[in-house]
Amino acid sequence: MQTSPKNLIDAFGRQVDYIRLSITDRCDFRCTYCMGEDVSFLPRDEVLSLEECARIVKAFVSLGVSKVRITGGEPLVRKNAIWLFEEIGQLAGVRELVTTTNGSQLEHQAQALKASGVKRINISLDSLNPERFRNITRVGDLDKVLRGIAAAKQSGFENIKLNSVLMRGINDDEILDLVRFAIVQEIDISFIEEMPIGSVDHARDSSFVSNIETLATLQQNFPLISSALNTGGPARYWQVAETHTKIGFISPHSHNFCEACNRVRITCKGELYLCLGQDDKIELMPILRANPNDDEPLINAIIDSMKIKPKGHDFDLQRAAPAVIRFMSHTGG
């Protein structure tokens, strides 16, 4: 039997200690930058069972991964999702169990999430205008999300952060309002540059808002202090002076963070993607199902995957087609 290395190290010397696992491609929203309007969801037998998800997480944790983020789709629409959070939450090697959600299910599930061991939660929020929110999400109810945020705060997570994708001519005029909302709520907020993946029909170069521009706008309106906070992801943070709020910037274009990449993504189909912006992947589902009682082949496949993890995503807004024709709802948010 092969002896597992303590850590996962790729060909460029980077240690992978963070995984993002999608447990469903389904979502109760249809956000324009995340999925197509006429999206077709996968049949159940093509999606990892929750038990298979747990096996994958345990394998990665045995290889030194200490941070696990559960994503979707919308992870909380998956039936019995809380069971998986509880399974992961009790693993000794997991330092941080976190999740990203659209907030729609938090009103009823925030307390169970907290009890399962989730420490931090990210909630997507791109507009505070109900009509605009519905247009961006196609079907979303802003009031329901705001009640979810309130429930999350009441549940006592160590940190709650809003994630906002600014799009020119769509919601970029809400920069200040979103930050003011975060300050009043005493929570954090991150601005994420829209990524050139998904549909060939969406011209992201025209809607793209650089975080350099966003930071400049915020510096003109708020007293910002550079922060050394590191949550294990790609965000760079600024503290709003005399408040509890930090502002993060995830900038795959204006500040390429690939040199310090410490993460991989697993889709709900069991595809292990070594980079969000590349198509390099390993199929884990066939390995799981061919070896239901033996995790060694799974562990070996994960170790071998480090050899093909690319140096970076090479995003280019001027490229005629998106870098990857794969919606975020497929890869995992």
Q: Note whether residue 203 is domain-resident.
A: yes
- pLDDT bin (cut points 50, 70, 90) of residue 194 is confident
For residue 150, give the nearest of 101, 187, 99, 96 by alpha carbon: 187
Instruction: Please give the sequence-ordered ranges of beta strands (E in DSSP) within the chain, or none if there are none.
Output: 8-9, 15-16, 18-22, 67-71, 96-101, 120-124, 159-164, 188-192, 224-226, 236-240, 246-250, 263-266, 271-273, 281-283
Q: How far is CA 237 from CA 226, 227, 246, 251, 257, in A?
A: 7, 5, 6, 11, 14
Average pLDDT, the chain: 88
Label the pairing between strands 159-164 and 188-192: parallel
User: Does the structure show a pLDDT above 70 at 203?
Assistant: no
**Rounded Cα gap, residues 80 and 292, in angstroms:** 21
Using a 10 angstrom Cβ sphere, with 0-12 exposed, 13-18 middle and 19 or more buried, the burial of residue 266 is buried
Q: Note whether residue 3 is domain-resident.
A: no
Q: Note whether residue 49 is domain-resident.
A: yes
pTM, two decimal places: 0.89
Q: Note whether residue 47 is domain-resident.
A: yes
Q: Note whether residue 13 is domain-resident.
A: yes
pLDDT number for residue 260: 81
User: Does the structure show a pLDDT above 50 at 123?
Assistant: yes
Least confident of 21-25, 111-115, 135-139, 204-208: 204-208
Q: Note whether residue 2 is domain-resident.
A: no
pLDDT digits (tens, 9 = 90+) for 254-307: 555 677 889 999 999 999 999 877 788 999 999 999 999 999 999 999 999 999
Q: How many domains does the chain have?
A: 1
Residue 34 sits in a domain whose CATH number is: 3.20.20.70
Q: Note whether residue 1 is domain-resident.
A: no
Domain that holds residue 64: 8-331
User: Does the structure show a pLDDT above 50 at 106?
Assistant: yes
- The partner residues of 18 in beta bridges, in order of sequence, read 67, 263
User: Does the structure show a pLDDT above 50 at 324?
Assistant: no
